[in-house]
Amino acid sequence: MKTSVIIPVYNAERFLERAIDSALEQPETGEVVLIEDCSPDNSIDICRAYAKKHTRVRLLQHPDKQNHGASASRNLGMRSAQCEYISFLDADDFFVENRFAKTVELFQQYPNIDGVYEAIGSYYYDDEAKEKHLARMSGNKRNRLLDPEITFINKEIAPEDLFDRLVQADSGWFSLDGVTIKRSLLEKTGYMAEDIHLGEDTEFTWRLAYFGRMMHGDLLHAVTMRGVHNENRVLSDSYQAKEAKRSMRNFWERALAFCLANDMKKETAYVIVSRYLDTQQLEHQTGNSMMRKLGKSVLMGKLLLTHPRLVRKIW
């Protein structure tokens, strides 16, 4: 098995060499595709040096040489991938030794599956970032049942049930950095959404689970380590205050559109519609509980008028 490792690169000069080296150390890595996204630091020089030194490393940039974000960069990498399999790695993360051992075994044993997902761990670059990460994980209600040090699915799930479990968020989740897919799966799923900027990887993994047969690999031991540091976007207080609500609203708007376009279980559709209504309501939130209830009723009425069959299905 040979895989294209897709690494979007932005402002990552502190971590980039470790990420690339960890990918090159894997015998299953057919190529490392670096997509340099107009970084303000010296990331481009590091990328150029690796591409010049290693035949397995390719450097890409967006045609206009401008910054387009992680989703657009991953999409550029996936579209140019030359191997039958595709894997993902963020520029501040790194693979562990024998990262693809279980993945290879599963693709050989089950040739009809479309992808494999495995656990990823956390590598802390400083104590302050560790404290912020652990506080963020414990502050989210759905995270409290999970180990904050590792991202994983906490039980064995049949491929046909995976999408429902991910949406209902009752069994954990997996990260792109722990995923390997057949390139052919992209013909069914499409590429990553470029119009949402928080949760775009979650939205993509949902589509992988819905359209593909995704099998779990190692759920107990991390195959990739996530770099946790103060430059992480999700640990930024200013980013959370300014962007989180808007980004989540956009995420659930896209989730609702996916729900309308595809058949799914009543319970799963209910979660999507409920979360959509909650995030839409945040735009009109007031301190009066009666007004909040009224606002949600108005939103439900609008949804009933535009998509009556969906609303009747779940209620």
Specify the pTM: 0.89
In this predicted model, which residue has the larger pLDDT, 139 or 60? Answer: 60
Mean pLDDT of the 168-173 span: 90
- Looking at the DSSP bridge assignments, the partners of residue 227 are 123
State the burial class of residue 149 (Cβ atoms within 10 Å of its Cβ: 0-12, 13-18, 19+).
middle
Q: Strands across the sheet with 94-95, in order?
A: 94-95, 224-228, 120-124, 150-151
**For residue 240, pLDDT beyond 60:** no
SS3 category, 144: coil
Query: pLDDT digits over 101-117, tens only?
Result: 999 999 999 999 999 99
**For residue 59, pLDDT beyond 90:** yes
pLDDT of residue 311: 65
Query: pLDDT digits over 89-105, tens only?
Result: 999 999 999 999 999 99
Contact between 46 and 16 under an 8 Å Cβ cutoff? The reply is yes
Q: Which of 156, 160, 189, 192 is nearest to 172 (CA)?
A: 156
Contact between 16 and 91 under an 8 Å Cβ cutoff? The reply is yes
Q: Which of 161, 179, 159 is nearest to 170 (CA)?
A: 161
pLDDT of residue 21: 98
In this predicted model, which residue has the larger pLDDT, 142 or 308? Answer: 308
Q: Which of 274, 313, 261, 272 is nearest to 166 (CA)?
A: 272
pLDDT of residue 199: 87
Contact between 24 and 55 under an 8 Å Cβ cutoff? The reply is no
User: CB-based contacts of 156: which residues, under 8 Å, 6+ apart?
Assistant: 216, 219
Contact between 279 and 259 under an 8 Å Cβ cutoff? The reply is no
Delineate the domains of the chain, giving CATH numbers in brackets: 3-235 (3.90.550.10), 242-314 (no CATH)
pLDDT of residue 144: 46
